[in-house]
């Protein structure tokens, strides 16, 4: 709670017909201008008094507590007639005209033997300012009787609490009840989280409802083709100024680990880690062995190898009937077949496999 404990009195001529005075609060924390009271020099019936207040200020005063009553009795001058306040009987119930809320028992401040409805139809309420007795107390009166209007001007508006809190009127002051995630005298500050960046091999898309990387900011993360997100896809900046969870990472998709060939070699490049996305492996067979299949394969974004791993087959010896052994060099046969089937590599492979099986 912040209350202004000092005030100054300033005189203003708002309109030629009326001189009003302004109680300007010296706000603690230097944040607030103060809740101001005004009264009319002229007297008027209740309806005109309310009209005058609502046209020039906010409304007839709505008494909130005993402190306000004491304050008004202290600073408002005594007049021949007293002042209308924002309380009147509506459908038989004493009601604050500004809020339409009924007067609760605890807030009653009637003068002794009031409300007495003495003149019948005493449906409006005046406040005794600086009366010899019952100072600051209320009396029900005929609404048609002319009295001074006692108005207030609220300070709370949409920007009072930076749009981030509930403004509560106080005497000569207002206070802000800040929404979650905001703080400061007028809720001008918000919790801030550390700045995030797009992950390696991924992207980040953030939404900042208030301020960059502050309370309620949210960031979505995606990973490039061939990478998998490790962690939540969305993180939020919380009230405490910390992210809801750790920023996710993008890890390369993995393929099965390949082994080097029997009777051959395998040479691999691993741009993003062993046997992961875009790993490229080349195969060769030792001398005297023929490579059956494709000599290159690559780890794809789906986690599968682009082509099966080849094998190395030894060149074979063919036996000829009659005990004479003639060795045909496998490479010669292969060269011949290559010439015949050069346009159909798979057929060639099948044939070679059949030949040596
Ligand atoms: Ca009365």
Same domain, 46 and 122: yes
Q: Note whether residue 330 is domain-resident.
A: yes
Same domain, 49 and 124: yes
CA-to-CA distance for 259 and 268, rounded, in angstroms? 11
Q: Note whether residue 9 is domain-resident.
A: no
Is 108 assigned a ligand-binding role in the annotation? no
Q: Note whether residue 22 is domain-resident.
A: no
Please tell me whether the overall predicted TM-score, pTM, comes out greater than 0.75 for this model. Answer: no
pLDDT for 114 equals 96
Range with lowest mean pLDDT among 181-185, 266-270, 302-306? 181-185
Of 153, 176, 204, the residue at which a domain comes to its end is 153
Instruction: Count up the domains in the chain and report the number.
Output: 3
Same domain, 201 and 239: yes
Could you tell me the residue range of the domain that residue 336 belongs to?
A: 264-355
pLDDT for 18 equals 33
Q: Are 42 and 56 in contact (CB under 8 A)?
A: no
Confidence category of residue 321, pLDDT binned at 50, 70, 90: very low
Strands lying side by side in the sheet with 280-285: 264-269, 280-285, 296-298
Q: Note whether residue 178 is domain-resident.
A: no
Same domain, 307 and 233: no
Same domain, 273 and 216: no
- The Å distance, Cα 102 to ligand 1 centre, comes to 19
Mean pLDDT is highest, among 169-178, 214-223, 316-325, for 214-223
Q: Are 99 and 58 in contact (CB under 8 A)?
A: no
CA-to-CA distance for 267 and 261, rounded, in angstroms? 10
Same domain, 69 and 138: yes
Is 139 assigned a ligand-binding role in the annotation? yes
Query: Residue 62 maps to which CATH number?
Result: 3.10.100.10
Is 155 assigned a ligand-binding role in the annotation? no
Average the pLDDT over 2-18 and give the result.
29
Query: Residue 277 maps to which CATH number?
Result: 2.10.70.10
Same domain, 127 and 104: yes
- The Å distance, Cα 99 to ligand 1 centre, comes to 23
Same domain, 285 and 344: yes
pLDDT for 171 equals 66
More confident residue, 77 or 28: 77
pLDDT for 132 equals 94
- The Å distance, Cα 109 to ligand 1 centre, comes to 13
- Residues contacting 318, CB < 8 A, separation 6+: 326, 327, 328
CA-to-CA distance for 32 and 25, rounded, in angstroms? 8
pLDDT for 159 equals 86
Q: What is the mean pLDDT of the chain?
A: 82
- The Å distance, Cα 115 to ligand 1 centre, comes to 5
Of 205, 232, 252, the residue at which a domain comes to its end is 252
- The Å distance, Cα 120 to ligand 1 centre, comes to 9
Same domain, 291 and 222: no
Please say if the pLDDT value at position 304 is more than 80: yes
Confidence category of residue 347, pLDDT binned at 50, 70, 90: low
pLDDT for 355 equals 53
- The Å distance, Cα 141 to ligand 1 centre, comes to 5
Of the candidates 90, 83, 104, the one whose C-alpha atom is nearest the C-alpha of residue 39 is 83
Average the pLDDT over 84-111 and give the result.
94
Range with lowest mean pLDDT among 64-73, 169-178, 254-263, 331-340? 331-340
**Which residue blocks in the chain are alpha helix, DSSP H?**
46-56, 66-75, 330-341, 345-355
- The Å distance, Cα 317 to ligand 1 centre, comes to 130
Confidence category of residue 59, pLDDT binned at 50, 70, 90: very high
Query: What are the φ/ψ torsions at residue 46 (nearest 5 degrees)?
Result: -60, -45
Confidence category of residue 323, pLDDT binned at 50, 70, 90: very low
- The Å distance, Cα 100 to ligand 1 centre, comes to 22
Please say if the pLDDT value at position 77 is more than 60: yes
Q: Are 227 and 202 in contact (CB under 8 A)?
A: yes
Q: Note whether residue 120 is domain-resident.
A: yes
Would you put residue 117 in left (φ > 0), alpha (ψ -120 to 50) or beta? left
Same domain, 272 and 197: no
- The Å distance, Cα 96 to ligand 1 centre, comes to 18
- The Å distance, Cα 142 to ligand 1 centre, comes to 8
Same domain, 275 and 199: no
Is 298 assigned a ligand-binding role in the annotation? no
Distance set, CA 261 to CA 119, 148, 171, 265, 293 (Å): 114, 105, 89, 6, 12
Q: Note whether residue 292 is domain-resident.
A: yes
Confidence category of residue 25, pLDDT binned at 50, 70, 90: very low
Is 67 assigned a ligand-binding role in the annotation? no
Q: Note whether residue 169 is domain-resident.
A: no
Q: Note whether residue 233 is domain-resident.
A: yes
Same domain, 268 and 345: yes
């Amino acid at each position: 709670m912040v209350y202004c404990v000092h005030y100054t009195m300033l005189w203003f001529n708002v309109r030629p017909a009326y001189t009003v005075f302004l109680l300007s609060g010296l706000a603690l924390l230097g944040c607030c201008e103060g809740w101001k009271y005004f009264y009319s020099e002229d007297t008027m019936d209740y309806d005109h008094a309310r009209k005058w207040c609502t046209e020039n200020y906010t409304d007839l005063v709505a008494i909130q507590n005993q402190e306000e009553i004491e304050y008004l009795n202290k600073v408002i001058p005594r007049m021949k007639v007293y002042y209308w306040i924002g309380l009147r009987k509506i459908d038989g119930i004493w009601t604050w005209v500004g809020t339409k809320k009924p007067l609760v028992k605890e807030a009653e401040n009637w003068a002794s033997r009031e409300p007495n409805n003495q003149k019948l139809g005493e449906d409006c309420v005046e406040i005794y300012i600086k009366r010899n007795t019952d100072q600051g107390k209320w009396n029900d009166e005929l609404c048609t009787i002319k009295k001074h209007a006692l108005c207030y001007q609220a300070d709370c508006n949409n920007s009072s609490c930076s749009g981030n809190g509930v403004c509560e009127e106080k005497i000569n002051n207002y206070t802000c009840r800040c929404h979650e995630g905001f703080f400061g005298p007028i809720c001008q500050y918000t919790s801030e989280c550390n700045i995030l960046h797009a992950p390696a091999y991924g992207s980040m898309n953030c939404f900042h409802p208030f301020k960059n990387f502050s309370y309620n900011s949210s960031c979505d993360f995606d990973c490039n083709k061939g990478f998998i997100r490790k962690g939540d896809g969305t993180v939020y900046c919380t009230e405490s100024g910390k992210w809801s969870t750790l920023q996710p990472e993008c890890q390369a998709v993995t393929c099965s680990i390949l082994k080097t060939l029997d009777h051959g070699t395998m040479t691999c490049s691993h741009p993003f880690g062993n046997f992961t996305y875009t790993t490229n492996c080349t195969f060769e067979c030792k001398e005297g062995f023929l490579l059956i299949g494709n000599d290159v394969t690559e780890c794809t974004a789906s986690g599968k190898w682009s082509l099966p791993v080849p094998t190395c087959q030894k060149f074979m010896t063919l036996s000829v009937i009659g005990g004479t052994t003639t060795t045909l060099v496998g490479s010669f046969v292969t060269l011949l077949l290559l010439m015949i089937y050069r346009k159909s590599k798979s057929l060639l492979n099948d044939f070679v496999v059949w030949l040596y099986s």
